[in-house]
């Protein structure tokens, strides 16, 4: 039986981040029970709260951190918080009076996570950026694309989500565990460029151990060899082939009646081009569904390249519960991406739908002891 108690229940998180990286991190924490309160200045209201896909299970309030009364409210919240997540440029939080040095004085157990593009120090620390820029500096973008072609922008935000948001969540959880042992909070410095560089173990190994500089579209895992590539089928759809291990390559060659190709899996020059030509011609003679049916029982690494509607209807995606349907109180049924982490003793649910801008401001203030009149005064003064 799944337990309804979430592993992060009772963990209070203040989320000052915006856009995608920070909210993705706080979504992970919120999905597993953390009480996440997003705080944004009213001046961002026209931009909305961000993508519904990462805003579930959180509350949202408005607060002007430049106003003395806004700081007072924030200090009250921070005094009782376990985690603070922010995505300002280095130095901004300190200038606002809400940096880690200021807040740890009143709450030494506070775990403070700063999530930025290039980190808190170094020659790039003050630069602005987006996912494409962090991947550029990390070498990921330069390695992505076809041989002799330009760099290709990935379809998903690798630096924002994996290098940034996920690493921030890992750092926070590590700090929570350490606080259980020491009683002390700590500061966490997460850089999306750092995280992107750390995602290069294969390429780094080729360079350091193999003595070669990996080129775009010119390595074992980026399309240099026919056994690990993509192919177009008869109906204009594509399949992916990952017959990297010898046993998979042998099985494929036997199936296609070309056992003579078996010794040349990683051949260079004319032989490589011959095999590429054969596979391209062969896969173009049948449709993608026909190839899936024909090869499904063959023990090779093989797949169909899907578009987004196909992904969301795919039987494996559906079976794994990766699409969560939720009935929003005002918008009706909406779809959300479910957590990828599956645990035997923990269930997942949408406790709180994606909030509207400032939806919980008054609720939070009333919980802090503010009366109706005081809240109206805060509105008039531009504090909330």
Q: Is 67 a residue of the active site?
A: no
Among residues 206, 244, 214, the alpha carbon closest in space to that of 227 is found at 244
Of the candidates 15, 82, 131, 160, the residue annotated as catalytic is 160
Six token digits for residue 29: 């924490």
Burial class (CB in 10 A: 0-12, 13-18, 19+), 257: exposed
Other residues' Cβ atoms within 10 Å of the Cβ of residue 3: 11
Task: Say which residue the tokens 């997460």 belong to.
Answer: 190
Of the candidates 130, 189, 314, 377, the residue annotated as catalytic is 130
Q: Is 160 a residue of the active site?
A: yes
**C-alpha neighbours within 13 Å on the C-beta side of residue 31:** 22
Residues serving a catalytic function are: 130, 160
């Amino acid at each position: 039986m799944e337990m309804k108690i979430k592993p992060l229940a009772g963990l209070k998180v203040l989320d000052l981040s915006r856009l995608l990286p920070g909210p993705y991190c706080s979504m992970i924490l919120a999905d597993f029970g953390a009480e996440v309160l997003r705080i944004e200045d009213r001046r961002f209201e026209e931009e909305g709260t961000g993508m519904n896909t990462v805003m579930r299970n959180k509350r949202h309030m408005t607060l002007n951190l430049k106003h003395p009364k806004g700081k007072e409210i924030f200090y009250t919240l921070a005094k009782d918080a376990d985690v603070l997540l922010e995505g300002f440029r280095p130095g901004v939080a300190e200038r606002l009076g809400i940096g880690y040095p200021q807040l740890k004085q009143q709450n030494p157990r506070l775990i403070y996570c700063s999530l930025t593009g290039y980190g808190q120090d170094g020659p790039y620390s003050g630069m602005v950026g987006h996912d494409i820029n962090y991947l550029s500096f990390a070498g990921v973008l330069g390695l992505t694309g076809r041989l002799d072609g330009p760099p290709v922008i990935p379809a998903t935000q690798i630096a924002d989500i994996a290098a940034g948001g996920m690493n921030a969540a890992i750092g926070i959880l590590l700090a929570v565990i350490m606080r259980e042992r020491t009683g002390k909070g700590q500061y966490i410095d997460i850089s999306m460029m750092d995280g992107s560089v750390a995602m290069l173990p294969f390429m780094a190994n080729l360079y350091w151990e193999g003595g070669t500089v990996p080129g775009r579209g010119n390595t074992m895992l980026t399309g240099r060899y026919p056994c690990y590539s993509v192919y177009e089928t008869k109906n204009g759809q594509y399949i992916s082939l990952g017959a990297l291990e010898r046993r998979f390559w042998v099985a494929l060659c036997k199936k296609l009646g070309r056992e003579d190709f078996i010794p040349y899996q990683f051949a260079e020059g004319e032989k490589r081009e011959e095999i590429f030509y054969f596979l391209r011609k062969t896969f173009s003679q049948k449709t993608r569904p026909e190839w899936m049916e024909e090869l499904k029982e063959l023990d090779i690494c093989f797949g169909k390249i899907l578009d987004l509607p196909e992904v969301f209807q795919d039987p494996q995606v559906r079976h794994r519960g990766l699409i969560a349907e939720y009935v929003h109180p005002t918008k009706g049924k909406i779809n959300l991406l479910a957590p990828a982490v599956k645990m035997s003793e923990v269930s997942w649910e949408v406790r709180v739908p994606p909030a509207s801008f400032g939806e919980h401001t008054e609720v939070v203030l009333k919980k802090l002891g503010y009366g109706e009149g005081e809240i109206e005064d805060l509105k008039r003064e531009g504090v909330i």
